[in-house]
Amino acid sequence: MIKENIEAVRRRIESAARRAGREPSDITLVCVTKEAAAPAVLEALAAGITDVGENRVQDAKAKQAALNPGRALKWHMIGHLQGNKAKDAVGMFDLIHSVDSIALLQEIDKRAARIGKRQDILLQLNISGERSKFGLDPSQTGDFIEAVRPLKNVRLSGLMAIAPLSDGPKNAWPCFRGLKKLFDGLLRARGGNIEMKYLSMGMSADFEAAIEEGANMVRIGSAIFK
């Protein structure tokens, strides 16, 4: 079942990409495993999943212990990250999507320096103002970028957002469009450790809309593990 679900999701990603005149291969599917037990995740991996997203450091730790050996998986931290968990997160994740304050950014840099890592991060913006109490206010984006520049152990790889939870993607479109606009504006800021490669938006309920508006990374859980 999980295999079929993944195939169906991939087909929908492909169609959305084509409608937008983009290559399906440019879009990274992050399989969100927060509601899935290890055997279900194993099925997803057997179906070709390479990128796994978790919301909590503790849960990710358990899954990594069960799944990592012998596998080249990319781990994504997508849930809210508290400063005191930054130390653990830096050792565990390839990409942290949920960096939403300068304080957290600096804590991650400090922890990454201690283990000699360059941590890839996304800036999470609060574009909906309602669904998520997390995410930086977009008006503070410039300050955040300037805070990233001097840091030696982080790389800003792009932006992440969660669209408003409403019935269906209708209310998500303006958010996705707004985030893409911000993303495009920030392409000018590239250089050094500012890379702006990924635009992480779109979940089970709204990923096609997100792709059509420019997402190149979608985070999908329930459409796979339903």
Ligand X SMILES: *Cc1c(COP(=O)(O)O)cnc(C)c1O
Q: Does 154 bind ligand X (CB under 6 A)?
A: no
Interaction of residue 79 with ligand X, rule CB under 6 A:
yes
Part of the chain binding ligand X (CB under 6 A), chosen from 109-117, 150-158, 166-174, 201-209:
201-209
Among 78, 95, 99, 159, binds ligand X (CB under 6 A): 78
Which of 108, 154, 162, 179: binder of ligand X (CB under 6 A)? 162
The answer to whether the CB of 31 falls within 8 A of the CB of 10 is: no
Binding piece for ligand X, criterion CB under 6 A, among 5-13, 81-89, 139-147, 199-207: 199-207
By beta-carbon distance, which residue lies closest to ligand X? 221
Considering the rule CB under 6 A, would residue 99 count as an interface residue with ligand X? no
Q: How far apart are CA 41 and CA 3, in angstroms?
A: 11
Which pair of tokens denotes residue 149?
A: 């520049």
Give the interface segment with ligand X, choosing from 12-20, 168-176, 197-205, 208-216 (CB under 6 A): 197-205
Could you tell me if 172 and 206 are in contact, meaning their C-beta atoms sit under 8 angstroms apart?
Answer: yes
Nearer to ligand X, 186 or 203 (CB): 203
The interface with ligand X within residues 13-72 (CB under 6 A) comprises: 32, 34, 55
Q: Verify binding: residue 175, ligand X, rule CB under 6 A.
A: no
Closest by alpha carbon to 210, among 181, 169, 182? 169
The reply to whether 158 sits near ligand X by the rule CB under 6 A is no
* Pairing label, strands 74-77, 51-54: parallel
- The CA–CA distances, whole Å, from 171 to 147, 164, 205, 217 equal 32, 7, 11, 20
Q: Which stretch binds ligand X (CB under 6 A): 20-28, 66-74, 141-149, 215-223?
A: 215-223
How far, in whole angstroms, is CA 40 from its chain's centroid?
Answer: 21
Closest contact distance (angstroms) between CB of 15 and ligand X is 18
> Which amino acid, one-letter code, is at 150?
P
Q: Judged by CB under 6 A, does residue 135 bind ligand X?
A: no
List all residues 6 or more positions away from 107 whose beta carbon is below 8 Å from its beta carbon: 83, 86
Q: CA 50, 71, 222, 203: dihedral to nearest 10 degrees?
A: -30
What is the binding site for ligand X (CB under 6 A)? 32, 34, 55, 78-79, 162, 203-205, 219-223
